[in-house]
Amino acid sequence: MLLAFDTYYFDNKAKTVCLAFDRWTASDNFTVYTEIREDIEDYTPGEFYKRELPCIISLLEKIPYRQAEAIVVDGFVVLDDNNKPGLGAHLNAYLQGTIPIIGVAKNNFATIEKNKRVLLRGESEKPLYITSVGIDVDKAAALIRSMSGDFRIPTLLKHLDMLTKETGPE
């Protein structure tokens, strides 16, 4: 099982969605888990994980995640080439390094050079930025490249983003 998480913030709430799927190349046949939390911590520059990590952990604990092959997060695993922990590294610490974490960021983080891979998919000239822990970053980038879809964002991750931004009832 593979898991992909994303969180959307609105009205002092956070909606976290997880897609569980069986193959990197899947484009459908997934399970959706979702949770809305209130009283979300304000964003602090450089400490995004303090806002999003509690949301991911809360939903993760409601999912049979222990046999997951990998977890994909929307964002960075590390924030610089000295392995300053980002969201993915903090999730990895919570999981005690038992599940590889792959970060897929849509925007560049300037202080990372060697610990990220720039991934162009489809015909897009705008890349994705891949970071990882518990799995080689080159392998992580190859896995994201292999995901279904002809465009910059893999099909399942695009679907995850869409589900996350739907702010109707859970």
Q: Which residues constitute the domain of residue 26?
A: 2-165
Mean pLDDT for the stretch of residues 64-68: 93
Mean pLDDT confidence for 13-18: 96
Whole-angstrom distance, CA of residue 17 vs CA of residue 144: 19
- pLDDT(169) > 60: no
- 138: domain CATH number is 3.30.2170.10
With respect to residue 76, please indicate whether it lies within any of the assigned structural domains: yes
Does residue 140 lie in a domain region?
A: yes
Domain count, the chain: 1
Query: For position 168, what pLDDT does the model report?
Result: 57
Q: Which of 49, 47, 52, 23 is nearest to 35 (CA)?
A: 52
Give just the sign of the alpha carbon dihedral 125, 73, 102, 65. negative
On the CB side of 50, CA atoms within 13 Å amount to: 7
Look at residue 35 and tell me if it is in a domain: yes
For 91-107, write each residue's pLDDT tens digit: 999 999 999 999 999 99
Statement: residue 110 has pLDDT above 80: no
Q: Considering the domain boundaries, does residue 98 fall inside one?
A: yes
Select from 21, 15, 89 the least CA-distant residue to 58.
15
Rounded CA gap, 149 and 157, in Å?
Answer: 10
At 161, list the tokens.
């983003």
- Assigned domain for 170 exists: no
DSSP string, 34-98: EEEEESPPPP-TT-THHHHHHHHHHHHTTS--TT-SEEEEES-SBSSTT--B-HHHHHHHHTTT-
Give SS3 for 163: helix
